[in-house]
Amino acid sequence: NAIKSLSGWRRLAAAFAAGAVSATGFAPLEFFPALLLGYAVLVLLIDGADRGPHPIRAAAAAGWAFLFGQFLVGFHWVGYAFMVDTAAPLRPLPFALVGLTAGLALYGALAGALSAWFWQDGPARIFVFAIFFALGEWLRGHLLTGFPWNLSGYGWGLVPALLQTASLVGAYGLSFLTILLGAALAEFELDPKAKQRAENAAGGHHHAAPEPAQTKGAGAPVPNDGGKVIASDEGGEIKK
């Protein structure tokens, strides 16, 4: 898989891009498929990190880059506070915006590291991913007075019926279910080798098609009614 094969700065760039695009799942755009697909991409990136050297460190970096991209887009409104007073300098704006998002993205690094620690092949990794990234959101909403902005559960703004789930499981429970659903989309990815094995297995059940009978002529074998081969001599007479 092309996503799993990424490493180094390419993995970080892909995680950042997936996080930035996933932020469009929140207001004002509220394009929730982007949020779900973003988590699916992150699962595949951690899959790749798990197969390489230093998997915990690589997964932590991918988790940080993902949330850094998501928060950088989702928290853009923080910069508006620096534009109220037109006489005030704007120099602190990038430091405040980037510093805030970089710090909050550490929860993604923690979730990525813990996920990699318990990572395993198969669908079980989907639950591991959802548990630790939902835990990261809970910590972000409570530690240091909390900053529960753009929880994953908020991504269902265009589907009020699903938002009602929060009345049963709470905002963080809905976030867990949202992350779980998005991460599960990674299961639709098919390894090319597995696909080739499946095609080979399916091909093994098919019998080779019989070769077409050759045209009757001098020295050409032709099948008789009983399936036995007979031959014609040069004079055109048929012999068994």
């900053």: which residue's tokens? 147
Surface-to-core class of residue 9, CB atoms within 10 Å of its CB (0-12 exposed, 13-18 middle, 19+ buried)? exposed
C-alpha dist (Å) from residue 169 to 146, 153, 162, 177, 182: 20, 11, 12, 9, 18
**pTM of the predicted protein model:** 0.77
pLDDT per position as a tens digit, 53-66? 999 999 999 999 99
Give 234 or 15, the one with higher predicted confidence: 15
Q: What is the mean pLDDT of residues 133-149?
A: 95
Mean pLDDT throughout 125-136?
A: 97
Q: Tell me the pLDDT tens digit for each residue of 172-212.
A: 999 999 999 999 999 997 555 555 655 666 565 444 444 55
The yes-or-no verdict on residue 128 having pLDDT over 70 is yes
Could you give the percent of the chain with pLDDT greater than 90? 63
Q: Which residue has the higher pLDDT, 152 or 193?
A: 152
* pLDDT in the model for residue 233: 52
Question: Given a cut of 50, is residue 216 above it in pLDDT?
Answer: no
More reliable by pLDDT, 74 or 213: 74
Query: What integer pLDDT is reported at residue 199 of this predicted model?
Result: 60
- Write down the pLDDT at residue 201: 61
Q: Out of 37-46, 164-173, 230-239, which region has the weakest mean confidence (pLDDT)?
A: 230-239
Q: With 0-12 CB in 10 A as exposed, 13-18 as middle and 19+ as buried, what is 232?
A: middle
Please report the pLDDT score of residue 43 as a whole number.
Answer: 97
Residue 77 has a pLDDT of 87
Residue 153 CB-density burial (10 A; 0-12 exposed, 13-18 middle, 19+ buried): buried
Return phi, psi of residue 147, to 5°. -145, 70
Q: Which pLDDT value is given to residue 89?
A: 80
Amino acid letter at 212?
A: P
